Amino acid sequence: MKTASKKSKLKLLHQYYTYTGFYSFIGKSLKKAILPVVIVVSALILFNKFVFNINDGLKMMTETFSTTGVLSVFYISETILGLIPPEIFIAWSKKTSDPIINLTLLATLSYLGGITSYFLGKASLKIPSVKNYLEVKMAKHLKNTSKWGGFLIIVGALLPIPFAITCMAGGMIKYPLKGVILFGLLRFVRFALYAVMIFQMVN
């Protein structure tokens, strides 16, 4: 009976997400995200081959900037709408003396950046001009977050959709903080999976 009940709940969830357009939204978001990723990767490969060796660049970055400086920039980026691709920092961590430790710090800062964005989203509601601006620019995203809640936080944590934007939207609709804290932990899974691929590319 319990198995049948679980199947019934999963079926209802599937029907709900289909009806509300969640799968369509995720598909469109991925299509939008895939093209920039392909362009960036292709550009990096060409740049690495014909202009400047990326491994040398990462080594120079490691030797020029302190670990604290790089991690600080990353935290700011992950708090303000994910302005710099995390993949660059993951590649950087491979060139440091403690790759696993720095990768763990990056994942932790990305997670904390999302939570900070959540509080920024809540705080922005107290500023009329900012509230109006964000509600206009992010109206569709806010509407979707209201409908899909935790599932969208999961998608933001795992897929190439800015995690900070999802968390900020969660704060703006007053989505429970415990949901962001719990589902946001999947951010660590994303960094681990990306590191497996990127570490093989960086010497």
Contact 163, 157 (CB under 8 A): yes
Per-residue pLDDT, averaged over 138-161, amounts to 72
Q: What is the mean pLDDT of the chain?
A: 79
Higher pLDDT, 5 or 176: 176
What's the pLDDT score for residue 154? Answer: 83
Would you say residue 168 has pLDDT above 70?
yes
Would you say residue 125 has pLDDT above 70?
yes
DSSP string of 164-177, one letter each residue? HHHHHHHHHTT--H
Contact 26, 155 (CB under 8 A): yes
User: In the chain, what percentage of residues exceed pLDDT 90?
Assistant: 26
Give helix 163-172 / helix 139-148 axis angle, nearest 10°: 80
Would you say residue 132 has pLDDT above 90?
no
What's the pLDDT score for residue 151? Answer: 77
**Residue burial 121-158, b: 16+ Cβ < 10 Å; e: rest:** bbebeeeeeeeeebeeebeebbebbebbbbebbbbbbe
Per-residue pLDDT, averaged over 130-151, amounts to 65
Contact 198, 87 (CB under 8 A): yes
What's the pLDDT score for residue 66? Answer: 87
CB atoms within 10 A of CB 193: 11
